[in-house]
Amino acid sequence: MKNPEWTDRLVSKVLEIEHRTKCPKVIFRKGNGSGTAFYKFKRTKTHNGVWIRKMSWSHITVRSYGNEKRDKMVLLHELAHVMGRVNTGHNLKFWERAWSYYEVFRSELDWEAVKKSEFWYMKKAKTAYEKLYPEVEPPLGQLSLAI
Ligand SMILES: [Zn+2]
């Protein structure tokens, strides 16, 4: 499918926020699923002439089933990944970046859906913990830190 007309506007605003000029290519695809930020390995030479393999962002895909507000959230989520370092996943820095983007575009998003979707990651963390330690109380103090 063609990228929605608002794609470049969101990307440009995020680049402006980050004081950056380049962003990996964004590709929208029809269908159920989520977004993915892909990375690739690049061969680069260090200052002492040694070749090394370096990871860098390659492109973003967004799976769309036609819900514009949801698609905007997914794109912003993936942009928060590619504006950070490769392979750092959903760390605190990532979430700070993601929520700052959501805030900028708040009027274009379904805020309750954003919270529901993004807090779901934390629920997964808790579920996995409870599977591993069924008899132990989860450390609630630490879990609530991330909210
Ligand atoms: Zn993610």
Residue-wise pLDDT for 60-69, tens only, equals 999 999 999 9
CA of 117 to the centre of ligand 1 (A): 11
CA of 97 to the centre of ligand 1 (A): 12
User: Strand, helix or coil at 40?
Assistant: strand
Contact status, residue 74 vs residue 67, Cβ threshold 8 Å? no
Q: Is the pLDDT of residue 141 over 60?
A: no
Q: Is the pLDDT of residue 15 over 90?
A: yes
- Give the Å distances, CA to CA, from 91 to 58, 78, 127, 131: 20, 13, 18, 22
Contacts of 111 (CB under 8 A, 6+ apart): 102
Whole-structure pTM value: 0.83
Q: Is the pLDDT of residue 4 over 70?
A: yes
If you average pLDDT over every residue of the chain, what do you get? Answer: 89
What whole-number distance in Å separates Cα of residue 24 and Cα of residue 20? 12
Q: What is the pLDDT of residues 63-90, one digit of tens each?
A: 999 999 999 999 999 999 999 999 888 8
pLDDT value of position 146? 40
32 or 109: which carries more pLDDT confidence? 109
CA of 51 to the centre of ligand 1 (A): 30
CA of 46 to the centre of ligand 1 (A): 30
CA of 77 to the centre of ligand 1 (A): 6
pLDDT value of position 143? 43
- Give the Å distances, CA to CA, from 2 to 6, 52, 146: 11, 36, 36
* Residues pairing with 25 in the sheet: 59
CA of 136 to the centre of ligand 1 (A): 28
Rounded average pLDDT over 21-47? 92
CA of 48 to the centre of ligand 1 (A): 35
Q: Is the pLDDT of residue 147 over 50?
A: no
Render the burial of 61-97: b for 16+ CB within 10 Å, e for the rest. Answer: bbebeeeeebbbbbbbbbbbbbbbebeeebeeebbeb
Contact status, residue 100 vs residue 93, Cβ threshold 8 Å? no
CA of 89 to the centre of ligand 1 (A): 7
At the topology level of CATH, where does 7-109 sit? Answer: Zincin-like (3.30.2010)
The residue ranges of every structural domain in the chain are 7-109
